Amino acid sequence: MRNTLIAVVVMAAILCSGCTAPSSRHSADGPALAHDVYFTLHDNSPAAKAALVQACEKYLRDHPGVTFFAAGQLVEAHARDVNVRDWDVGLHIVFQDKASHDLYQEAEAHHQFIEENRENWKTVRVFDTYVE
């Protein structure tokens, strides 16, 4: 029994030798900032939703300090009581810190995205969160 326990402990040590703690989402300038934007469109046809997702990809993906980027349409199949369904396209960007987010807000590509797409926006809701 003792030999079995020793073997299990040794095996666990070998398997976890490459394990590391999850990296912190803090930079020297503070915590990461998640920027989530939900667009409700006047024209919410499949083509219009796809066009907005493509515009997000074109103008908003490659900014300094972006550690995660995703844009997509509402998942129609998820219609539980807890699902908020009053939007059409979601944008999700995680910045390494608030300073990166602030630079993004002033970037020419961000302003170009707004100018080219705002006419079809019925509502825009922004949720900014510091994330660990």
CATH of the domain at 88: 3.30.70.100
Supply the pLDDT for residue 26: 57
Helix (H) or strand (E) holding 68: strand 66-73
Q: Are 88 and 74 in contact (CB under 8 A)?
A: yes
Supply the pLDDT for residue 11: 42
Global pTM value: 0.79
Supply the pLDDT for residue 29: 72
Please tell me the distance from the alpha carbon of residue 51 to that of residue 110, in angstroms, as a whole number: 16
The domain in which residue 46 lies consists of: 2-131
Please tell me the distance from the alpha carbon of residue 43 to that of residue 60, in angstroms, as a whole number: 21
Supply the pLDDT for residue 14: 38
* pLDDT tens-place values along the chain, 132 residues long: 444 434 433 344 433 444 333 344 556 779 999 999 999 999 999 999 999 999 999 999 999 999 999 999 999 999 999 999 999 999 999 999 999 999 999 999 999 999 999 999 999 999 999 999
Domains contained in the chain, number: 1
User: Measured between alpha carbons, how far is residue 99 from residues 17, 27, 29, 34 in Å?
Assistant: 36, 10, 8, 12
Supply the pLDDT for residue 101: 98
